[in-house]
Chain A
Amino acid sequence: MAIKGAIVVDKEKCKGCGVCASVCPKQVIALSKNVNGKGYNYAEMVNGDCIGCASCGMVCPDGVITVYKAKV
């Protein structure tokens, strides 16, 4: 059995600060090439290595990350 995680970023509220990406132990997050309605390059998952540790959620100043975790 393995642990699988996923994050959902509220794209429109993300400010593209990059703090989440800087603490992710699995380098799952990067800022998108695309921008949201305010012109920010929002955070997104770039691979499936997420372990659902919620580190990103804990440091996101804007509280826009929701984290999921499951045993698969």
Chain B
Amino acid sequence: MFNEEIVKPENLVYKKTSVLTDAVMHYCPGCPHGTIHRIIAEVIDEMGIQDKTIGIAPVGCSVLAYNYFNVDFVEAAHGRAPALASAIQRLHPEHHTFTYQGDGDLAAIGTAETIHACNRGENIIIFFVNNAIYGMTGGQMAPTTLVGMKSATTPYGRRVDLNGWPLQITELVAQLPGTNFVTRQSASTPADVRKAKAAVRKAFENQAAKKGTQFVEFVSTCNSGWKMTPVAANEWMRQNMFPKYVLGDIKVEGEIVREYNPADSKVIRDLVSVK
């Protein structure tokens, strides 16, 4: 090894937070679920709220999230995490309840729970990991799969005439009066990780101030489902997902800060095929 002489406790600048357990994550190599877990865990650590945070795990690849966070966790039925979080947060108003959900969980089977929890303005945090696919079950099309994007169930690419438009659920929940902070982040570069962490912290702080529903999307990858290497999947995400799922804040302090024009999503982009 190089520079071994400086490996001493007093020179430490970065290590895994103890709000994550030491369990080896079951995720595929390079899967952003791990990075996103760590961003959330670091904020919990820095805010000193580990003993009053309750997570809700989804059904999807992150179904076992409770093995990795060193906080209390409940496992929800598929898509029902926002309903469970609503109940828990109402019973424990001084705690921090968050859900952690994939696009299949949150925007397909759980759409009703998502919309109604946001519309009621439940004082919960919803973390939404959008990898545009059902990762866990073998890469089927999700509501958020891009037009032209290949998946196990759209082998020639998603077609609007057959499969409809990608669902902009994040822009949709921003329209509801109950949402207070709605933002879209990502976690593939150090700069994006820093921004995402700031957004996650804002969500926890807004929750402490009882401001209503906090909704944080992470545009993500599923390198296994997309059939790419992790590094290539990150690049593909930046090239193809970011133009459609534009990063940044959508609603801040209850005010829309970026208008959404549905006409924009009618532009059918030529996607490079997912090989």
Residues of A participating in the B interface, judged by any CB pair closer than 8 Å: 4-6, 8, 13, 15-19, 22-23, 28, 40, 44-48, 50, 52-55, 57-70, 72
Contacts and interface: CB of A to CB of B under 8 A. Distances in A.
21 contacts: A6-B2, A8-B1, A22-B234, A45-B1, A46-B2, A48-B3, A58-B14, A59-B193, A62-B24, A63-B16, A63-B17, A63-B20, A63-B34, A63-B38, A66-B16, A67-B15, A68-B3, A68-B8, A68-B12, A69-B6, A70-B8
Interface of B: 1-4, 6-8, 11-17, 20, 24-25, 27-35, 38, 187-190, 193-194, 229-231, 234
Contacts of A55: 190
A28 B1 CA distance: 11
A63 B193 CA distance: 13
Contacts of B30: 15, 17-19, 61
Contacts of B2: 6, 28, 45-48, 50
Given A4-B3, A50-B2, A68-B8, A61 B16 contact: no
Contacts of B16: 63-64, 66
A50 B29 contact: no
A63 B17 CA distance: 9
A6 B27 contact: no
A54 B14 contact: yes
B6 A22 contact: no
Contacts of A50: 2-3
A6 B229 contact: no
Contacts, number: 110
Nearest to B189: A23
Given A18-B231, A61-B31, A70 B190 contact: no
A59 B234 CA distance: 11
A61 B33 contact: yes
B13 A52 contact: yes
A5 B187 CA distance: 23
Which of A4, A17, A45, A72 is the most central at the interface, judged by chain B CB atoms within 10 Å of its CB? A17
